[in-house]
Chains A and B, each alone.
Chain A
């Protein structure tokens, strides 16, 4: 005698069974028992006790939330600072166009351009809110701190600062931005962006 398959029993449970299955279940004690077992299994699954998380994940979530807020503030600050710096440097270059020599002048412009390009490309690796391992978060935070420190130094430069010194600072900034971009790109690949 042909019996209901598990597909038939599932369809009976969902009220979508075939005419044959609906008729068969009224006549076959074996299939009636099988359907009853299915109902019991589902009831038992629903009654399983709740599994509780073994560790408190809130501190990690809060840390990520605070880091994201801090990064947002810093990004705004960096952009504001960068604009001010650009204005200052433009003034320096306009007021003393020959003070640094042609090569230094070109190097400075190149470093600034590279820095701006890296700022742009970093926007596509927005890892805000994503889960970072402790090590990755530490690397990113360290790089961001070092970039902020250079921005602070650049902001304190005076008009009479040697152009060579400015070039050096901007190039350091570019190097750190590259490292930061690599760190974020690696993480982005890892999370499958």
Chain B
């Protein structure tokens, strides 16, 4: 999803002054791209909704610190991705590269005619986060590694494993 949101400076200034209507306007401008980003990273919709709320509370609290360097969307996106990654870290059991996504394991047969979106949903949250941030949002492995508190090679290997798994699931779906 490509986001090309331009927010007027005057709106940002009003939000920085604590104007509630301006803060709501910022929320309306970014709620869908933020939700889309964190929902792609997180498996559970309710987790994504919570992260949206946490993100905007952080935006409200920190908007005065935004100095206008770069696009506002980039600043908001960084807050959102950090919070989503924090949630993944907080629940390591769910985030751990799942034993359950290995092909051939019970309960993980994804069925025929699986499309890419469904296959993507079967990845672990860590894999989803890396794939989405790198391939769609354009983050570098260095940026992902920094945000995840992991090494660059971790980010690269997660990406490769995730693509190998996607390819396998799509092939299995096509031949089932």
Contact = CB atoms under 8 A, between A and B. Distances in A.
B24 A62 contact: yes
Contact of B32 (A45, A50, A60, A128): A50
Contacts of A55: 49
Contacts of B2: 46
A190 B36 CA distance: 26
Contacts of A46: 1-2, 135-136
Contacts, number: 93
Contacts of A102: none
Nearest to A42: B135
Contacts of B135: 42, 45-46
Contact of A53 (B31, B40, B132, B157): B31
Contact of A50 (B24, B28, B33): B33
B120 A38 contact: no
Interface in A35-65: 37-38, 41-42, 44-46, 48-55, 57-58, 60-62, 64-65
Contacts of B54: 130-131
B49 A61 contact: no
B160 A5 contact: yes
B1 A65 contact: no
A51 B131 contact: no
Contact of B36 (A7, A51, A60, A61): A51
Interface residues of A, number: 32
A46 B2 CA distance: 8
Nearest to A58: B27
B157 A7 contact: yes
B88 interface: no
B117 A130 contact: no
Interface-centre pick from A38, A48, A64 (highest chain B CB count, 10 A): A48
B49 A37 contact: no
A162 to B, nearest CB: 45
A57 B53 contact: yes
A61 B49 CA distance: 12
B57 A129 contact: yes
B49 A129 contact: no
A45 B116 CA distance: 8
A42 B161 CA distance: 14
A17 B73 CA distance: 32
A51 B57 contact: no
B1 A129 contact: no
A192 interface: yes
Contacts of A58: 24, 27-28, 31
A41 B166 contact: yes
A132 to B, nearest CB: 11
Given A129-B57, A129-B60, A57 B116 contact: no
Contact of B40 (A44, A51, A54, A128): A51
A10 interface: yes
Interface of B: 1-2, 20, 23-24, 27-28, 31-33, 35-36, 39-40, 45, 48-50, 52-54, 56-58, 60-61, 90, 116-117, 120, 131-132, 135-136, 156-157, 159-161, 163-164, 166-167
Closest 3 CB pairs of A and B: A53-B35, A6-B160, A6-B164
Given A45-B120, A50-B36, 13 more contacts: A5-B160, A6-B161, A9-B160, A10-B163, A45-B132, A45-B136, A46-B136, A48-B117, A57-B31, A61-B27, A64-B57, A128-B61, A129-B61
